[in-house]
Amino acid sequence: MLSKSQIKLITSLKQKKYRLQHGFFVVEGLKTIAELLDSELELYQLFTTESFGDKSEKEVIITAAELKKISFLTTPNKALALFRIPEPKIIQAEGLVVALDDVRDPGNLGTIIRLCDWFGVKDLVCSKNTVDCFNPKVIQATMGSITRVNVSYLELENFLQKQTIPVFGAFMEGENVYRSALPKQGVLVMGNEANGISEIIENVITQKVSIPRFGDLQATESLNVATATAILLSEFKRS
């Protein structure tokens, strides 16, 4: 049976300040939890309506009604787990690195983490104002890819200034990416959903790239940042 203190702890983890205070983040759904259990991440406690078997010492069997009390989903998916937030890892900056300049939407960040995993990008570098990668909605959207991508938060301008590899930025007025000679090593910077790449970060971009519009009217203002990231990563890897 769930205690009041357990319910209070779990529901508080929806907010970043309490995730940082307690050092835990929430994962929901059998498939995603199973992926994280197979990773280096440390399980703190598992609340489930059906046993995982090999995690019995940290496993708490609860009812569907109890799961609904602690779940952040409209339709809870049989299990919820608390994992410890890991210590930050060193950025290797090898091959292609993706950098995010104040991306705020959890779904976008989660999708970009999945894209990095898909395209073999090991390091995702985020400005300090980018949404927290341990936000429950981000974790849900990554579908387990959070275990295979090193996500770091730092002063983005300082990081980019120190790079000896090319720094690419996605801009509407950039060079057509389909006609660009793209290297195997570089940093690809993607900007905020509403404002794009900020002026301070634009100043340290060494090459601007864009995705051309092919529609007859060309009325679409811009692409979703996660969609644009997918197209650009595909081009970098194809080249």
pLDDT digits (tens, 9 = 90+) for 23-82: 999 999 999 999 999 999 999 999 999 887 765 678 999 999 999 999 999 999 999 999
Contact (Cβ atoms closer than 8 angstroms) between residue 58 and residue 36: no
In the predicted model, is pLDDT for residue 145 greater than 60?
yes
Confidence at residue 222, expressed as pLDDT on a 0 to 100 scale? 77
Indicate the domain borders of the chain.
Answer: 4-84, 96-238
User: From its phi and psi, is residue 94 left (phi > 0), alpha (psi between -120 and 50) or beta?
Assistant: beta
Task: Band the pLDDT of 239: cuts 50, 70, 90.
Answer: confident
Q: Can you list the pairs that 3-6 forms with residues at least 24 positions away whose Cβ atoms lie under 8 Å? A: 6/70
CATH architecture of 96-238: 3-Layer(aba) Sandwich (3.40)
Asked if CATH classification 3.40.50.300 holds for the domain at 4-84, the reply, yes or no, is no
Contact (Cβ atoms closer than 8 angstroms) between residue 136 and residue 174: no
Cα–Cα distance for residue pair 189/207, rounded to 1 Å = 10
Give the type of residue at 35: E
Confidence at residue 1, expressed as pLDDT on a 0 to 100 scale? 78
pLDDT digits (tens, 9 = 90+) for 2-22: 999 999 999 999 999 999 999
Confidence at residue 217, expressed as pLDDT on a 0 to 100 scale? 60
For CA atoms 72, 4, 63, 33, give the dihedral sign: positive
Contact (Cβ atoms closer than 8 angstroms) between residue 96 and residue 186: yes
Helix H or strand E segment including 46: strand 43-48
> What is the chain's mean pLDDT, rounded?
94
pLDDT digits (tens, 9 = 90+) for 187-237: 999 999 999 999 999 999 999 999 998 876 665 667 999 999 999 999 999
pTM value is 0.93
Confidence at residue 219, expressed as pLDDT on a 0 to 100 scale? 57
